[in-house]
Amino acid sequence: MHDLAKLQITDIKGSFEKSLNCWQHQFRIPIFDHLRGAASQTTMGLMLPEIKKIDDMVVENKVDCDCPIHRTHGLPCAHEIAPFKNRGEPIPLSLIDDHWNMLSFEKRKDDDGAILKVMIADWNIFMAKMVAQNPMTHMHWMKTLKPF
């Protein structure tokens, strides 16, 4: 059993290396620019049919999406990808669940809250600008931020 587990770990590490260094031709499209080398090829393979759906049909914009790929894999569906594809922009890595872009068995370094500190600084700048805005703008942002 131990040898089987070691073999599986070796296969997974090989897959990680392949995702970091080699890209299949089908993943060399501009929409994957931010994902190549950062997310696994399996991720892009799962997303490819969703991207093809956008070309094959009219994709409606949905606020509360319950598509299977989103629920089961934590990956964006055609509804979430369509705006990026229509604008000619790559899919941001932030739409991909973290477990898909962890291409290593090594534990990630704790950033000591550095990201949170940046977010708080950005929020403070946003709030300082909001104070000077009119009440209609306040209402707009309140409706926008309420779901979060």
Q: In the prediction, which pLDDT does 22 show?
A: 61
Closest CA to 143 of 80, 25, 63: 63
Q: In the prediction, which pLDDT does 24 show?
A: 72
Query: Mean pLDDT for the chain?
Result: 77
Phi/psi of residue 37, nearest 5 degrees:
85, -10
Q: Does position 50 have pLDDT exceeding 80, yes or no? A: yes
**E strand residue ranges, the chain:** none
Mean pLDDT of 99-108: 60
Q: Does position 23 have pLDDT exceeding 70, yes or no? A: no
pLDDT bracket for residue 16 (50, 70, 90): low
Q: Does position 38 have pLDDT exceeding 70, yes or no? A: yes
Q: In the prediction, which pLDDT does 113 show?
A: 64
Q: Residue written as tokens 């299977």?
A: 68
Q: Does position 5 have pLDDT exceeding 80, yes or no? A: no
4 in Cβ contact with 65 (< 8 Å): no
Token pair recorded at residue 17 = 């290396």
Is this prediction's pTM over 0.85?
no
Q: Over the stretch 53-67, which tens digit does the pLDDT of each residue have? A: 887 776 666 666 678
Q: Does position 41 have pLDDT exceeding 70, yes or no? A: yes
